[in-house]
Amino acid sequence: MKKRQINTEKVYQAVIAAVVAILVLVSLFPLIYVAGLSFTSQQEYMSRGNLMVIPYRPTLEGYKRILFRDDTYLKGLLVSLLRTGIGTAVTLVCTLIMGYLLSKEDLPGRRGMLFAVMVTVLYNGGMIPTFLTVKGLGLLDTFWAMILPGMVDTWSVLVFKQFFSGLPKEVIESAEIDGCGELRMLVQIAVPLSTAVMAALGLFMAVGQWNAWFDALIYLQKNTDLYPLQLLLRNVFANANMGYNSSIQVDMMKNQTDTSLRMVVTMIGTVPILCVYPFLQKYFTSGVYMGAVKG
């Protein structure tokens, strides 16, 4: 009896190991394939066929062509970095202020403000009215069209509110007795106490900013100089007609077989995420939990 038990447990462990190993491979393979092709010369790719994964003679030719033949992608990289930095900072500050305000239980008008936030969580104006608002403000084709429409993350407002409400009352009361004003209380007590929440929410916001392309697609119609990397990448792959022609992109469109160049662009869009990934890991569980179950 005892022996059979141990055996089923062993079989079970073996099954788990096999299934998980396969899933890990499936998660990893496309990345390795993309990376491999990005270092492959077009000649080698053509001669070896499409089943190759690791190049015999790796080359940086593709990277040189994409990054240095004209400045399209370098500019895109810069825009992406700027929107990630500025967008995350602005959103984080505004979101924190709102959450902090709503955590003050004796604040006159608190319930009304909370309701105003909840409404926007539950109901949104939709693509066209939002577009017309951005247009009406004269923000089309400007950098701020990628920042302002998402300036407050209303979901995260509720997370901050929850966090600040949970702070021990004694901390605030003793600060009040010490004659600490509301501004100092926010800057010197609340903000330092919330660094973990800020880091978790901020990192996820930053990933969202880095990965965003749709807002740029609709709000930046003519100003191709402001295209973030993800939109440039999308234009390389989309079958959609593009009123846009950088010399390299025309090159790639004409020469659909130039897979390795396309993979170089993919790598440039992927590697920065992989670089911050280790720092993100610490916040996974708390981030997801805050995102899913609030209040």
Partner 1 sequence: MGEMKALVQGKKKNTVLHRMKKYRILYLLAIIPFAYLIVFRYWPIFLQFVLATKNYTIKGGIWGSEFIGLDNFAQLFHSREFKKILFNTVRISLLRLVCGFVPPIILSVMLFDMNSAVFRKISQSILYIPHFFSWVIVYAIAQVLFQNTGYINSFLNLLGIESKQFLMSERYFLPILIGSGVWKSLGWSTILYLAALTNINTELFEAARLDGAGPIQRIRYITLPGIVPIIVFSLMMNLGSILSAAGTEQILLFYNPTNYEVSDVIGTWLYRQGLGKMKYGLGAAVSVFESSVGLVLVLISNKLANKFAGLGIW
- Chain positions 158 to 187 lying near partner 1, rule: CB under 8 A, are 158, 181-183, 186
Within residues 243-282, the interface with partner 1 by CB under 8 A covers 257, 259, 262-263, 265-266, 269-270, 273-274, 277, 280-281
CB of 293 to partner 1, least distance (A): 6
Q: Which residues contact 265 (CB under 8 A, 6 or more apart)?
A: 66, 73, 232, 233, 236
Among residues 2 and 57, whose Cβ is nearest to partner 1?
2
Contact region for partner 1 (CB under 8 A) — 21-29, 58-66, 191-199, 243-251?
21-29
CB of 36 to partner 1, least distance (A): 11
Among 128, 179, 254, 275, binds partner 1 (CB under 8 A): 128
Among 43, 124, 174, 247, binds partner 1 (CB under 8 A): 124
Among 95, 194, 224, 249, binds partner 1 (CB under 8 A): 95
d(CA 192, CA 194): 5
Among 37, 77, 159, 261, binds partner 1 (CB under 8 A): 37
Q: Does 78 bind partner 1 (CB under 8 A)?
A: no
d(CA 131, CA 27): 36
Q: Which amino acid is at 122?
A: L
Rounded-to-10 torsion of CA 243, 217, 34, 38: 50
CB of 49 to partner 1, least distance (A): 6
**Which residue is associated with the tokens 């701020």?**
144
Q: Which residues contact 99 (CB under 8 A, 6 or more apart)?
A: 156, 157, 158, 159, 160, 161, 163, 164
CB of 201 to partner 1, least distance (A): 15
Q: Which two structure tokens, joined as six digits, stand for 101?
A: 């305000």
Within residues 49-68, the interface with partner 1 by CB under 8 A covers 49-51
For helices 195-211 and 284-292, the axis angle rounded to 10 degrees is 80
Q: By the 8 A CB rule, do 186 and 100 touch?
A: yes
Q: Does 209 bind partner 1 (CB under 8 A)?
A: no
d(CA 265, CA 90): 28
Among 20, 78, 171, 250, binds partner 1 (CB under 8 A): 20
